[in-house]
Amino acid sequence: MRCRYTANALLNSDPGRFGGFLHRTWAAETRPALSDLCAPGPQWTRLSILGTTAGGPFHDAGTVEFVATYSGDGDHGAGGRLHELSRFRRESGQWLYVDGDLS
């Protein structure tokens, strides 16, 4: 989760590299096109993990509830926050983002 947040936070500095990372760590059945993940986004400023379920070394699935805040820059509004319960799945030893519910 934290590495995906970091990739989103750094996306504007190197869209190909960090968009590619997001694409590789997203489950194939729900993954958007790579070009969609390389588009400029807001300036992410903070990640707060509110809770997790499973996701340990002996689990194949888990959830992460988080709040991520972003600042406004004119193109992306006045700033705000994203509150999500994300679902992840381990596949071939790698954790993949499956989907999430926004609150």
pLDDT on residue 23: 97
- C-alpha–C-alpha distance, residues 3 and 37, integer Å: 15
Q: Identify the bridge partners of residue 64 per DSSP, sorted by sequence position.
A: 52, 86
Q: What is the mean pLDDT of residues 82-99?
A: 97
CATH number of 2-102: 3.10.450.50
Q: What is the mean pLDDT of residues 5-26?
A: 96
Percentage with pLDDT > 70 across the chain: 95
| Residue 74, pLDDT above cutoff 90 | no
Q: Would you state the structure tokens that stand for residue 62, as one six-digit string? A: 């888990």
Q: Are strands 43-54 and 61-74 parallel, antiparallel or unpaired?
A: antiparallel
| Residue 95, pLDDT above cutoff 80 | yes
> Is 86:63 a contact under the CB 8 Å cutoff?
yes
What pLDDT digit, counting tens, does each position of 37-50 carry?
A: 999 888 999 999 99
Tracing tokens 């990739």 back to the chain, one arrives at: 7
Q: pTM score, two decimals?
A: 0.91
